[in-house]
Amino acid sequence: MKKILAFSIILNISFLILFSYEIYKKGGSPYLKNKFRSEKPDLLSEKPYWYYKKYQHWKETKSLYDILPNDSNEIVFVGNSITFGCEWAELFSNPKIKNRGIGGDNTEGLLERLTEITESNPDKIFLSIGTNDLALNIRISEICANYEKIINRINKSTPKTKIYIQSVLPTNNHPERNNDSIIVLNNNLKKIADKKSAKYINLFDSFLNPDGNLNMELSFDGLHLKGQGYLIWKKLIESDVKE
């Protein structure tokens, strides 16, 4: 029995020495740290390429907005690639209008860059964001919580700014951001607007086809807008922009 126990101890020690030597050859404790770190789930790597924390376009555009000069009496359009895709100042023939849309942005990303938007104490802010949150499987309750944070920060930083919450636009053949979810989100955004004394603007209905999806005469991909779509958008908000 003692011989078996002694043999077992010697065998375990031999394995331990061999294991330690192999670890030593591969770099020692730094190797172990990297190995265990790599085995943890990398949540960022699971995000799509356009997720704002990894999207080069988002970072580059934010860095540009950060260095642009502020103006007085600005009217700021804030949102994602759908906002980014329009020349709002030219559309309304108003140089006071600033485009602060960034492709891939969501409510979380907007919170990270909101200071640059509010520091000019703009006259008006037109918000249009949320579709990318849905595509990232962010819960509607969390999207709405972020919206409230956005509104609260605007009100605190620049209390005289008028805030307009524009509904999320419909989509066509984009199940990751389906219209049923968008309708629920929009209903909640209207409640937030009422609660926070902001103005809610219903864009959604004016972009629908008879089947209840985004009218493909206004879009190439069922998500982003053609020029004709921005003309409809202009008509829906023109009185608010000019008042």
List the CATH number of the domain containing 61: 3.40.50.1110
Q: Do 206 and 115 belong to one domain?
A: yes
Q: Do 187 and 228 belong to one domain?
A: yes
Which of 110, 142, 140 has its CA nearest to residue 128? 110
Whole-Å CA distances, 209 to 9, 126, 169, 212: 77, 25, 12, 6
Tens of pLDDT, residues 56-71: 999 999 999 999 999 9
> What's the pTM?
0.82
Tens of pLDDT, residues 9-64: 665 565 556 555 555 555 555 444 444 443 444 477 889 999 999 999 999 999 99
Q: Do 61 and 19 belong to one domain?
A: no
Tens of pLDDT, residues 160-189: 999 999 999 999 999 999 999 999 999 999
Structure tokens at 187: 């209903």
Residue indicated by tokens 């709405």: 144
Domain membership of residue 45 (yes or no) is: no
Q: Do 149 and 178 belong to one domain?
A: yes
Domain membership of residue 73 (yes or no) is: yes
Q: Do 32 and 148 belong to one domain?
A: no
Tens of pLDDT, residues 214-228: 999 999 999 999 999
The residue with greater pLDDT, 1 or 139, is: 139
Residue numbers of the domain that contains 27: 2-40
Mean pLDDT of 114-123: 98
Q: Do 70 and 167 belong to one domain?
A: yes
Confidence (pLDDT) at 31 = 44
Q: What is d(CA 116, CA 213) in angstroms, rounded to the nearest whole number?
A: 35
Q: Do 16 and 91 belong to one domain?
A: no
Domain membership of residue 49 (yes or no) is: no
Q: Do 126 and 32 belong to one domain?
A: no
Q: Do 167 and 229 belong to one domain?
A: yes
Mean pLDDT of 83-91: 98
